[in-house]
């Protein structure tokens, strides 16, 4: 792994993978939906503007119109896309080694020189409304959004990434433009690449592409001058501790939709990025709901046949987190599944895990991590998330050592920590038939 920090603040990280014939490159901007201002009087429609902006960056620069951007990637068969998360935005492409330079050039042009044409803005509003409509029809997705809102309460991390149909209908080009101008600069940009990549050459390509940027805010790259910008102060997150603003008691939230299944989410505030218990949590989560042999899968699916899918997960952010269990089940069995899920978490909180489970989880983490790291896209993303998150990037071996150092008591304790926090249940579907009550 190699890392270069340019005087302007721009960071470039690469990981060369011997034998790879392709590479994945991503331009990451350290800004996400949490950074939007919900209550700015002058920008009522700013929620969803980070994601709106991500779409607009595909719509053209002075050098390339939208069609030219699309053809630049299609003509080389690139796997090209972008994603907006709560704390970052990413534009990426996976390409054959010979196509890396051209991908970097187009991505850099998109990110630094977007025109945000007013006509394209209106057309894209329609596309985003369709994207939100598609998400609204996906009831597992709806359950997930409502669950994050319920667990994180009023915290900006609790908001849906894409905004709502109302905020998108109200979005103004000026707000999105202000977001773009105020947030996209050399200090927030992290370029990562993995696979068939040469670090020095990539740094050179990135600098050359950025030196050509039209907007003044990129001139520090050319001038080798540091960007001085106010660092946004993040609000304290309610997920980090049970006493910081999240819901104080157990809550059940029901959302009625025409459906066959009830989409259930059960959980609470989780661990923030870099939390010392994150390795213990990883093992606990594998045993609780991380595979076919996990307790949730065995209890809910294999023994009782109540669900096709049942798993647990953690999501971590700079100052908060979410822990959750998902299961899809019939209306008649939803209340039973909620009880079973909580009982399995309590079971680990009270009795810990077996030695066999402990050993199996370590093997599972070692094997699945090794497989994941064979993909250049996984490595590219890991570099960026570490750089934008805790700043700590462990090698696979160092990370496995940390997992191996976790004690059985650490695992029991992290389960107890989560089991003791106020419990949120979200159900989406034909909820009247479930017997669940708010």
Contacts to its own copies from residues 77-136, by CB under 8 A: 77-80, 94-96, 99, 122-134, 136
Residues 260-279 that bind its own copies (CB under 8 A): 260-261
CB of 309 to its own copies, least distance (A): 7
424-429 and 251-256 beta bridge pairing: parallel
- Interface residue with its own copies among 22, 49, 114, 144 (CB under 8 A) is 22
Tell me the CA distances in angstroms from 243 to 169, 319, 321, one per residue in order.
36, 14, 14
Q: Which of 7, 62, 226, 305 binds its own copies (CB under 8 A)?
A: 305
Q: Which of the stretches 152-160, 213-221, 287-295, 381-389 binds its own copies when contact is defined by CB under 8 A?
A: 287-295
Count of residues of this chain found to bind its own copies when the rule CB under 8 A is applied:
77
User: In whole angstroms, what is the distance from residue 265 CA to residue 261 CA?
Assistant: 13
CB 196, min distance to its own copies, A: 10
Shortest reach from residue 221's CB to its own copies, in Å: 28
Only one of the segments 84-92, 247-255, 369-377, 397-405 lies at the binding site for its own copies (rule: CB under 8 A); that segment is: 369-377
- Among 27, 90, 100, 139, which residue sits at the site for its own copies (rule: CB under 8 A)? 139
Stretch (H or E) spanning 17:
none
Rounded to the nearest 5 degrees, what angle is found at the Cα of 401, between the Cα atoms of 396 and 407?
A: 140
Q: Which two tokens stand for residue 382?
A: 């890991």
CB of 40 to its own copies, least distance (A): 26
Neighbours of 53 (CB within 10 A): 25
Closer to its own copies by Cβ: residue 126 or 226: 126
- Binders of its own copies among residues 331 to 350 (CB under 8 A) are none
Nearest alpha carbon to residue 237 among 154, 159, 315: 154
Q: Closer to its own copies at the Cβ: 39 or 397?
A: 397
CB of 150 to its own copies, least distance (A): 21
Closest CB to its own copies among 235 and 372?
A: 372
Q: Among the options 54, 149, 299, 344, which is catalytic?
A: 54
Site string for its own copies, 310-329 (x = CB under 8 A): ------------------xx
C-beta of 190 vs 338, nearer to its own copies? 338
Produce one character per residue of 282-313: b if its CB has 16 or more CB atoms within 10 Å, e if not: bbbbbbbbbeeebbbbbbbbeeeebbeebbbb
> Length of the chain, please?
438
- Report the nearest approach of its own copies to the CB of residue 125 (Å): 7
- To its own copies, the closest distance from the beta carbon of 336 in angstroms equals 12
Q: Which is nearer to its own copies, 116 or 246 (CB)?
A: 116
The DSSP code sequence of 109-155 is HHHHH----HHHHHHHHHHHHHHHHHHHH-HHHHHHHHHHHHHHTTS
20 binds its own copies (CB under 8 A): yes
Cβ(348)–Cβ(411) below 8 Å: yes
Which H, E and C letters describe 193-218, residue by residue?
A: EEECCCHHHHHHHHHHHHHCCCCHHH
307 is an interface residue for its own copies by CB under 8 A: yes
Nearer to its own copies, 204 or 260 (CB): 260
Interaction residues for its own copies, span 375-404 (CB under 8 A) = 375
Burial of 51 (0-12, 13-18, 19+ CB in 10 A): buried
285 close to 312: Cβ distance less than 8 angstroms = yes
Helices (H) and strands (E) in the chain, counts: 16, 11
Distance CA 1, CA 436 (A): 51
- 3-class SS of residue 355: helix
Stretch that binds its own copies, among 17-25, 46-54, 145-153, 236-244 (CB under 8 A): 17-25
260 counts as catalytic: no
218 in Cβ contact with 185 (< 8 Å): yes
The reply on whether position 306 binds its own copies by CB under 8 A is: yes
Query: Which residues 208-247 are close enough to bind its own copies by CB under 8 A?
Result: none
DSSP of 363-401, one letter per residue? HHHHHHHHHHTTSHHHHHHHHHHHHHTTS----HHHHHH
Binding residue for its own copies, selected from 102, 241, 259, 378, defined by CB under 8 A: 259
Find the shortest distance in angstroms from Cβ 12 to its own copies.
23
The set of catalytic residues is 54
């Amino acid at each position: 792994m190699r890392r270069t920090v340019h005087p302007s603040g721009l960071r470039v990280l690469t990981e060369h993978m011997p034998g790879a014939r392709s590479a994945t490159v991503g331009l990451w901007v350290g800004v996400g939906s949490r950074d939007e201002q919900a209550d700015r009087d002058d920008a009522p429609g700013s929620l969803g503007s980070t994601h709106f902006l991500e779409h607009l960056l595909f719509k053209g620069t002075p050098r390339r119109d939208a069609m030219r951007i699309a053809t630049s990637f299609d003509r080389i068969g690139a796997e090209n896309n972008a994603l907006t998360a709560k704390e970052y935005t990413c534009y990426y492409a996976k390409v054959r080694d010979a196509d890396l330079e051209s991908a970097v050039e187009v991505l850099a042009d998109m990110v630094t020189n977007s025109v945000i044409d007013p006509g394209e803005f209106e057309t894209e509003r329609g596309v985003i409304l369709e994207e939100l409509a598609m998400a609204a029809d996906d009831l597992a997705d709806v359950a997930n959004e409502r669950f994050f809102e319920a667990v994180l309460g009023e915290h900006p991390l609790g908001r849906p990434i894409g905004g709502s149909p109302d905020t998108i209908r109200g979005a103004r080009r000026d707000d999105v433009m202000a977001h773009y101008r105020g947030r996209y600069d050399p200090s927030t940009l992290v370029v990562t690449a993995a696979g068939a990549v040469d670090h020095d050459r990539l740094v050179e390509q990135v600098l050359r592409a950025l030196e050509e940027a039209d907007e003044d805010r990129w001139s520090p790259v050319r001038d080798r001058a540091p960007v001085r910008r106010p660092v946004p102060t993040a609000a304290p997150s309610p997920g980090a501790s049970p006493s910081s603003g999240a819901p104080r008691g157990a809550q059940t939230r029901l959302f009625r939709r025409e459906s066959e299944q009830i989409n259930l989410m059960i959980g609470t505030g989780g661990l923030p990025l870099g939390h010392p218990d994150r390795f213990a949590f990883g093992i606990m989560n594998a045993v609780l709901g991380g595979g076919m042999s996990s307790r949730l899968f065995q209890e809910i699916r294999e023994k009782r046949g109540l669900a096709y899918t049942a798993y647990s997960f953690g999501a971590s952010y700079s100052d908060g987190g979410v822990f959750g269990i998902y299961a899809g089940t019939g209306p008649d069995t939803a209340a039973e599944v909620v009880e079973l899920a909580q009982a399995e978490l309590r079971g680990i909180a009270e009795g810990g895990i077996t030695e066999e489970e402990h050993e199996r989880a370590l093997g599972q983490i070692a094997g699945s991590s090794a497989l994941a790291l064979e993909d250049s896209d996984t490595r590219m993303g890991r570099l960026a998330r570490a750089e934008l998150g805790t700043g700590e990037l462990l090698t696979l071996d160092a990370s496995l050592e940390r997992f191996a150092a976790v004690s059985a008591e650490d695992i029991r304790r992290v389960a107890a920590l989560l089991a003791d926090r106020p419990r949120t249940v979200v159900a989406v579907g034909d909820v009247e038939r479930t017997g669940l009550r708010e």
